[in-house]
Amino acid sequence: MMFRQSAGMTSAPDARILLSLAAIIGVVVFVIDALTPLDIAIAVLYVVVVLLVASTGSRQAAIATAATCVALTLLAFAMSHDENYSGGSIARCIVSLLAIGTTSFLALRNQANTSRLQEQIQLLNLTHDAIVAYDMNDRITFWNQGAEALYGWSAQQAIGQRIHELTRTSSAIPLDELRDEVVRKGRWEGELQRVRSDGSTVVVSSRFALWRDDKGRPCAVLATNNDITERKRMEAELQRQQEELRATIDAIPGMVWSSSRDGELSYINRRWNELGITLGENGGGVWTSIVHPDDWPAMQAAWRGAIATGKPFENVSRIRHSNGTYRWMHIGAEPLRDADGRILRWYGVNTDIEERKQAEQALERSEAFLSDAQRLSRTGSIGTRLPAGDMWWSDEVYRIFEYAPDYTPGMELIVARTHPDDLELVRQAWDRELAGAPYVDVEHRLLMPDGRVKHVHYVAHLAAPQSAAIEYVGALMDVTERQVAQEALDRSTAELAHVTRVTMLGELAASIAHEVTQPLAAIVTAGDAASRWLNRAKPDLAEVGQSIGQMVRDAKRASDVIRQIRAMAQKRDPSQAVLDVNGIVRESIELVRRELDAARVELEARYVEPPPLVCGDRVQLQQVVINLVMNGVQAMSGVTGRARRMRVGTRRFDEHYGQVFVEDSGTGISEENVGRLFNAFFTTKPDGMGMGLSICRSIVEAHGGRIWAESQQGQGATVQFVLPVDKGYCDEQR
């Protein structure tokens, strides 16, 4: 028997037609049976009536019809035979009754079978799966509601069609092979792609089962199909997402990896190609092969520790690349845990930090350089942020102030070390910083707890402001040694200046003697005159008074000269006073006038008015002027054939400096010598010491000034110096 889908229960119109037909046949059979004397078992035809009624599916109707047919057969028998019952007619009646009974029995059984089948088909319809049966010619014999829903064709439309043509089946393997496999193995399962009635494509998961007849011949295939289009789409989406994730992981500028909970590498991204590593069987041996042998023990210990404790892993090691070079890498990993907190696996990333490492090393090196340089030069750095007063000190600053490095830097620490006499200077500098001065420069002393005194020089400038706060970047120099050396130098300069002055006085002895003897002679002369006026018979007191006045003036002049000579000869420290430059030049010329006269020098003196006032030591500055004048006189001593002219005077150099110049018409200075004139021991004179101009430079520079020479050889020379005009600080310094 073949599984073939029936139309189910007969529909109502069909049933009516069948019943009518059955009634007509029944009536015709009865009429012929009862009324015609035919010697045939016409009543057998009642089976047609029974079959027709049974085919409507109604059990009661079939039973009733069978009973009616039996009754009609018996009635017709009675009607047609009166009392004469022949043996033949009885036999015909019995045959008819047997036929009706057997047929009714079979029809009822068939009806029961059909309804059972119908129920089973209804059950098959209940499933969501699409169930299709087709014969060995692929013709559809069964098409459940699931198939209708899945493919869109009704059972009526589908039954009788060729399944693969109707649904345009396509599969990974050719359909012929598929059929062969079903026949060979009796079943097949796999994915098929089909087209629905509306033209859309559907992917189904199909299971085929072969149905064989009693003789074992294949006769039909039962196929159950599930729509897996959505699942396939999800799978494709998942696949796409996985590929995207993989591409993303590959694009990460780091080496991504995962490992089992016990640390064996199980996944590495494409970046690992740079190391020439592809993950083979032995995931555990990868690290040992790429980590620098010197770094491996520490890394191994850290990794083991992380695996044991489950804490995130972090390590910095050198990793070998495929070209054989090692690069510093940061290796970090985090564990992935399940709901119970058990570690499932580790996920890690290796990041190349070679550049950062090199930069760090370079920074460490330059910090070491800087720190060494600071120590050697005794210069520390101070960063100050105002108005809060936050400070940053370099190590050298701590050393200069002699504080332990754990002190928090601040102004109060500086004040605590500042020499009490210099506190005001430091406060002023601090106030200038608070006021935002672009540049601060202060030199002051420190008084250490053990009584030592240090000299420091602090300079700072306003850094480009990055925030609203004022920031100073400054340098603090320990200038104690320089200061001590400077003081020693100043002392020796002063001593040298004294020696040269005394030498100079020796050279000027004639002039000085003249300067002194001349007023003394005048005094004697005036004394003589006075006594003559007195000794007259009638003394002329007015004349006497005049002579005495003259004597007093001359005595004063002599005493002035002597005072100056004494000052020159005296050995003492330089002093500071506000001085009139014109006065200094005048007095100096007085002292050497005799020399000028003796050398027949025509002197022209020019003084600027008002006289520039400078702050300094009178004797030292006179020494400079005398030195320059004497050099000029000496330079002109060999000149013959032209006037020996000297111009000495003062000028205003600019608003900050006053100038003194000594111009002669002597031999001049060669271009070569102009540069070394002021060097110690440079002299062109046979009996010269070469110290004069060198001392002049020390004195002028100690006064904050500058000295230089200009000359055209053969035309004479001009030696000049400038001194800063006193701005009122002189008194403070004294």
CB of 718 to ligand ADP, least distance (A): 8
CB of 676 to ligand ADP, least distance (A): 9
Q: Which of 126, 353, 128, 136 is nearest to 254 (CA)?
A: 353
Instruction: Rank residues 146 and 668 by Cβ distance to ligand ADP and give the closer one.
Output: 668
Instruction: Rank residues 649 and 692 by Cβ distance to ligand ADP and give the closer one.
Output: 692
Instruction: Rank residues 348 and 632 by Cβ distance to ligand ADP and give the closer one.
Output: 632
Question: 478-483 — which CB contacts under 8 Å span 24+ positions?
Answer: 478/378, 478/379, 478/400, 478/454, 479/378, 479/443, 479/455, 480/453, 480/454, 480/455, 480/456, 481/378, 482/455, 483/455
CB of 680 to ligand ADP, least distance (A): 8
SS3 141: strand
C-alpha gyration radius of the chain: 67
CB of 487 to ligand ADP, least distance (A): 24
Instruction: Give CA separation, 400 vs 410, 411, 417, 450, in Å.
Output: 14, 15, 10, 14
Instruction: Rank residues 692 and 705 by Cβ distance to ligand ADP and give the closer one.
Output: 692
| 693, amino acid identity | L
Contacts of 399 by beta carbon, 8 Å cutoff, 6+ apart: 375, 380
Find out whether the peptide bond into 610 is cis, omega within 30 degrees of 0.
Answer: yes
CB of 605 to ligand ADP, least distance (A): 17
Residues forming contacts to ligand ADP in the complex (CB under 6 A) are 631-632, 635, 664, 666-669, 677, 682-685, 688-694, 717, 719
Instruction: Rank residues 96 and 659 by Cβ distance to ligand ADP and give the closer one.
Output: 659
Instruction: Rank residues 307 and 629 by Cβ distance to ligand ADP and give the closer one.
Output: 629
Instruction: Rank residues 456 and 646 by Cβ distance to ligand ADP and give the closer one.
Output: 646
Report the residue number whose CB is nearest to ligand ADP.
Answer: 692
Under 8 Å between Cβ of 497 and 694:
no
CA distance 599 to 425: 52
| 621, amino acid identity | L
CB of 584 to ligand ADP, least distance (A): 19
CB of 702 to ligand ADP, least distance (A): 17
Instruction: Rank residues 225 and 711 by Cβ distance to ligand ADP and give the closer one.
Output: 711
CB of 599 to ligand ADP, least distance (A): 13
- The pair of structure tokens assigned to 41 is 């078992």
CB of 673 to ligand ADP, least distance (A): 6
Instruction: Rank residues 106 and 639 by Cβ distance to ligand ADP and give the closer one.
Output: 639
Find out whether the peptide bond into 409 is cis, omega within 30 degrees of 0.
Answer: no
Under 8 Å between Cβ of 628 and 603:
no
CA atoms within 13 A on the CB side of 615: 15
In the DSSP assignment, the letter for residue 249 is: H
